[in-house]
Structure 1
Amino acid sequence: MRRISLLACGIRQSSSQIYIIPDTLVGVEGYRSYLVLGNAPEDAQEYSWHRGANDTEGNMIISYDSTSDSRQYGPMYSGREALSNAGNLLIIRAQLNDTGNYTVRVDAINGTQRATGWLKIQELEIPGISVNTSSVVEDMESVAAVCDTNATNVTWYVDYIPVSSNSRMTVSPDGKTLIIQRFSHSDKPLQFGPYYVLLWTNPNDFNGVLSAEIGSQVEMECVSYSRPESKYRWMHNGSLLSFSEKNITLLNLTWDQMGRYRCIGENPVTQLTFYQEVQVQAPCHIGVHDLRPGGQDQMGKEVRDPIGAG
């Protein structure tokens, strides 16, 4: 299992000082990252987020003015950021180049405060496992399994129980090799997962909602990790589709194709099943990629904050 490191700067100096909550500064490529503002003053009038260790206009990402309920977009805005009314910054589908310092400025009636934090985005690594043999004589021969990973902290599991060196199992000093003496059918090291199911979409979904125009192309892909490889099933509005691949492409979206899609990944050997869902709908509620101050959605309504009030 790969662990994600966290570096943070900016120390909370007093009970009234704003700060960026450290636990939110963990990021994984392709996932949402939240930078949550702590101890914001009740009389805050404007929140402004910037790339880097200062709050100049040239490195501004996005700001929110609570007095006018409006947002401004700066030179560092990539189209993947959104700012809540409470001053929290959301980065959708974080990228490796999102790594770096982030500075938030809060302008309040009683003065201005700043806080800086370091966000580290790392790759999601799915390790591979190889073994030295495909068949053994039970209770007589041994099996060596090697984890192909660059991680420095590796934990082995057999039947979901962490493995430590004992009379039958030996873990190498670097943790990457597991040797099982007198291999038995109950060890089952070649059968595992899935541990999760990820659902990638194009256009990007926001909080499980994918906004797409009628006639546009929509792509959905299921990703999971198991051995043997996962089998996939898809459901649309509660009905099972005949489609059994990991990818679905809707070339020309119709009204009948709108609704909730569920991707189910299952391992027929371990009998473990996971699923993820996404709601495909017309952009009546504008998505974060189209968000602009003073804009309107298709129904002529004023654009609102996609994250909500908090």
Structure 2
Amino acid sequence: MCAGEGILPPGPLSGAVAGMVKFTTTLTPPERPFLSVSWNFKGVNIITSTSINITEPGHTNRISLDRTTGTLELRNLIMEDSGEYTVTIIPDGGLQEQGRITLNIYAPITGATIRSPAAVLIEDRSATNLTCEASGSISTRLWMKDGQPVETSDSISLSMDNRTVFIRPVRSSSHGTYQCQISNPVSSMTAAFNLTVNYGPHNMTITGPAAASTGHRVMLQCMAASVPLANFNWMFNGNVTNVNTSMFVIERFEGKNTGNYTCTARNTVTMKEKSTVLNLRASCSAPRWSFSVFVISTLA
């Protein structure tokens, strides 16, 4: 009969290749030394301690035994050290005590990277995938985008092992920084990849006053969400101007400056363009600021 089946923690115990682990028992040193302490691995006694220590040749110089508690230290770990370990202790004048624990060895994670096919991606027209790779014992892969977990949707899916993210098609929301955290119980590593999706122009607006007083300086700012940045040009009352920046400046407002200011944004990669209009009126009072809401969308 055996007593003390719980003299080892439940486990499993984790260790890294080339590292060290300790199989620590729950025993306190007895008043009289144990008659025998024996550790067994895969049916082989790797060390037996009575009046002398007998160590299995394959573990010579790799193990140390604390004779007072039965605790074993195993060094220079290799993958083949994974498995179940059994300790058997015979006290002086007591019942035999035994414990079992499983050791899992992992190769540390190295060389984490994210691969993606080289291509120019355009929203709603292109598809791509991101593949997370690393060396070592991989237990888990966790995907993040711009600091938030990647969630599956009608355009985003994951492979069964979380190794690859499929994006079909890419959208403006697909643009950003993706991270893959690869881990096992003894190490982790994170790789990052900046995915560029060409999109837009979207969300066209002109900011500026809806009315201005004579003699005042007026600034109209055209904005659009676009990757790459959009090119801008302006028209006034249907006539082409020489302004091709996002800012239209009227140095000294006069009556002749009243009318419709049309800003057109064009993306040279998506070949899309959008226009929006602001109607500027003359006013004797302080100018009021407004946002344009009329948008014309074209695909060149």
TM-score in terms of structure 1 length: 0.44
Structure number, greater radius of gyration: 2
Larger strand fraction of residues: 2
